[in-house]
Amino acid sequence: MALSFSLSPSCLNTSMASGSASLMWFRKGLRIHDNPALEFASKGSNYLFPVFVIDPHYMESDPNAFSPGSTRSGLNRIRFLLESLVDIDLSLKKLGSRLLVLKGEPSQVLIRCLKEWDVKRLCFEYDTEPYYQDLDAKVKNYASAAGIEVFSPVSHTLFSPSDIIQKNGGKSPLSYQSFMKIAGQPSWASSPLSTVITSLPPVGSLRSCEISEVPTIKELGYEDIKQEELTPFRGGESEALKRLTEAIRDKEWVAKFEKPKGDPSAFLRPATSVLSPYLKFGCLSSRYFYQCLQDIYKNVQHTSPPVSLLGQLLWRDFFYTVAFGTPNFDQMRGNRICKQIPWKDNDELLAAWREARTGFPWIDAIMVQLCQWGWMHHLARHSVACFLTRGDLFVHWEKGRDVFERLLIDSDWAINNGNWLWLSCSSFFYQYNRIYSPISFGKKYDPNGDYIRHFLPVLKDMPKEYIYEPWTAPQSIQIRANCIIGKDYPKPVVSHDSASKECKGKMAQAYALNQKLNGLVSEEDLRNLRRKLDEEQKHEVKTKRQRKLPIGN
Binding annotation for FAD: 272-276, 312-319, 410-412
Query: Cα 353 from chain centroid?
Result: 19
N-term to C-term CA, the chain: 71
Return the closest-CA partner of residue 439 out of 502, 343, 364, 377: 364
3-state DSSP percent of the chain in helix, strand and coil, to 5: 45, 5, 45
Contact present, 79 and 229 (Cβ < 8 Å) = no
Contact present, 456 and 435 (Cβ < 8 Å) = no
Quickly list DSSP for 412-440: -HHHHHHHHHHHTTSSS---TT----TTH
How many helices (H) and strands (E) would you count in the chain?
Answer: 22, 5
According to DSSP, residue 389 is labeled: I
According to DSSP, residue 388 is labeled: I
Length of the chain: 553
B/e letters for 24-33, b = 16+ CB within 10 Å, e = fewer, are: bbbbbbbbbb
Binding residues: 272-276, 312-319, 410-412
- Phi-psi map region of 435: left, alpha, beta (phi>0 left; psi -120 to 50 alpha): beta
Sheet harboring 149-151: ordered strands across? 100-103, 47-54, 21-26, 121-123, 149-151
Q: Is-cis flag, bond preceding 260, omega within 30?
A: yes
